[in-house]
Amino acid sequence: MVATTHRPAERQRLVRFDKAERTLHWVNATLFLIVMGTAAILYIGPLSAAVGRRELIRTIHVWTGIALPVPVLLTLASGRWGAGFRADVTRLNRWTQDDRRWFRSFGRDPYVRLGKFNPGQKLNASFVAGVIVVMLATGSIMKWFGYFPVDWRTGATFVHDWVAIALFAVVIGHIGIAFSDPDSLGSMLKGTVDTRWAREHRPRWYEEETTAGAETPLQ
């Protein structure tokens, strides 16, 4: 391939998600698939009837839910392995002026220059983090209801149900958007994106990665 032009980065690829992040993403995705699949079986009457084995399904649902925070926490706590993830958690947490403008214009404002993540991705990440904690807490009250006031069992069920409905909507949206952007999806599978994609869709991140001092920006 003739790669060298006056813009040397043109045909090259940027690392977007390192191995730790991709591993964490797909481990999480698998756990979410199990917890949401079993949830659907427990919640939707005809599915319950078709599958049966309610006790087994519930056990899988409960223990997968309890396991859900573990990969995130392990990655956060690990040393070099989790460095990329920790940096991205900081990025996902922080909203810039551009993010607000992007959000208010539903992504249409042409003058917005985004960093590594767009505000939709930031919201998705915060929401999923909240979901893991909220579902773990309410699910625990539902399972060990004897230790809590009678009303809390109803309240925990109420929260668990509505958050689950929101989660189904968000996850379906997440998957839909991923399939509509093959570059982005590819980077969660293989780790890298085309630099052109980065320059066009994530200009501030592109600058961060390609200016002097950036650690191994190009692969």
- Find the shortest distance in angstroms from Cβ 54 to another protein: 5
Tell me whether residue 133 or residue 189 sits nearer to another protein (CB atom): 133
CB of 212 to another protein, least distance (A): 13
| Shortest Cβ 143–another protein spacing (Å) | 12
Site residues for another protein per CB under 8 A: 43-46, 48-49, 52-56, 92-97, 99, 115, 122-123, 125-127, 129-131, 133-134, 137-138, 141, 145-146, 150-159, 161-163, 165, 204, 208
Residue 52 or 173: the one with the smaller Cβ distance to another protein is 52
Nearest distance from C-beta of residue 88 to another protein, angstroms: 11
CB of 116 to another protein, least distance (A): 10
| 47, amino acid identity | L
Q: Find out whether 113 and 203 touch, Cβ atoms under 8 Å.
A: yes
The alpha carbons of the chain give a radius of gyration, in whole angstroms, of 21
3-state class of 57 per DSSP? Answer: helix
Closer residue to another protein in complex, CB, 129/218 = 129
Q: How far is the CB of 122 from another protein (least distance, A)?
A: 6
Q: Which of 91, 122, 119 is nearest to 106 (CA)?
A: 119
List all residues 6 or more positions away from 147 whose beta carbon is below 8 Å from its beta carbon. Answer: none
- What is the rounded CA–CA span in Å between residue 142 and residue 160? 9
How many angstroms separate the most distant Cα atoms in the chain?
71
Name the residue nearer to another protein (CB basis): 159 or 218.
Answer: 159
Alpha-carbon gap, residue 13 to 169, rounded angstroms: 32
Neighbours of 29 (CB within 10 A): 14
81 or 148, CB closer to another protein? 148
Closer residue to another protein (CB): 26 or 43: 43
Q: Are 144 and 176 in contact (CB under 8 A)?
A: no
